[in-house]
Amino acid sequence: MRRSVTAYGVDAPVLITGESGTGKELAAQAIHERSSRGHGPFIAVNCGALPANLIQSELFGHEKGSFTGAHQRKIGRVEAASGGSLFLDEIGDLPMELQANLLRFLQEKTIQRVGGREDITVDVRVIAATHVDLENAVRDGRFREDLYYRLNVLQIRMPALRERIGDVPLLAQYIFHRFAEEKGRKIKGFSEDALHTMNHYDWPGNVRELINRVRRAMVMCDKFLISPSDLGLERRNNSRLVLTLGEARDRAEIDIIRTALAQNRGSVSLASKQLGVSRVTLYRLMEKHALSTN
């Protein structure tokens, strides 16, 4: 919680980490919209999807005649984001030679278009995201250490959906209302069975899979309430529905502790009072479940 609030209130670079499909771009958009740059552009670039021979031109632009096919000046993504935020998705896939150019931009706040000699000042906040462990990439020589530290000023980890016990029904309801125009007239929401099944499914595709399953169910459902079969999550295929008593207790504790910490902005003292336990007990439970106040 504190990290996300900090990301809203300052203008430093942000590095968002997490598995594919966990909603890293949505988090980046939220940071941008709630920052002082919210009125400016939000330009997203998938570093892993750009052709290697065009990445420099796409990021920094080019001058007319700078290479074959450059019939006119082109403004790059970095320059287009001036006054706003530049979201560099899958930054771990950026080639080493481009990493040096990006580092120079972060240090100097200036760019040069391909084929140009003029230094152009650009006022941009960089938000980067990756599913790659950049610390390992640095050790393996696949990512520049100096660039890593430039990008990793504020870090936000997006947890996998399977770690967010209790959040899935809320997210599903949000998706349901967001895409309300796609649902049939009769559909009112989810059955209790569907909510229970979703909350105990592994979600290997994370938030992206949740959105896909909910939208598909909204189109295909011919009843008042969406069922597990509409979601393609029949109980017999759900490996997480059978829990031991210890597992169920641990998951309940994690859910309750996370909720209390979130409601009290990470304050262990206030959360322990709300839960009716001592601070020592709450710290012990947090350590047991590897929970933090962030």
Each residue's pLDDT tens digit, 210-222: 999 999 999 888 8
How much is the mean pLDDT over the chain?
85
- What does the alpha-carbon distance between residue 112 and residue 121 come to, in Å, rounded to a whole number? 9
Q: How confident is the model at residue 294 (pLDDT cuts 50, 70, 90)?
A: low
Q: Residue 179, Cβ neighbours under 10 Å: how many?
A: 14
Tens of pLDDT along 102-147? 999 999 999 888 888 888 999 999 999 999 999 999 999 999 999 9
Report residue 157: phi and psi, to 5°: -100, 125
CA 76 from chain center: how many Å? 24
Helix (H), strand (E), coil (C) string for 223-269: CCEECHHHHCCCHHHCCCCCCCHHHHHHHHHHHHHHHHHHHCCCCHH
pTM of the full predicted structure? 0.68
Q: What angle do CA 275, 199, 20 make, to 5 degrees?
A: 105
What is the share, in percent, of the chain residues with pLDDT greater than 70?
90
Total residues found in the chain within this entry: 294
Which residues have CB under 8 Å from 287's CB, separation 6+? none
Are 93 and 45 contacting, i.e. CB atoms less than 8 angstroms apart?
no
Region 176-180: mean pLDDT is 87
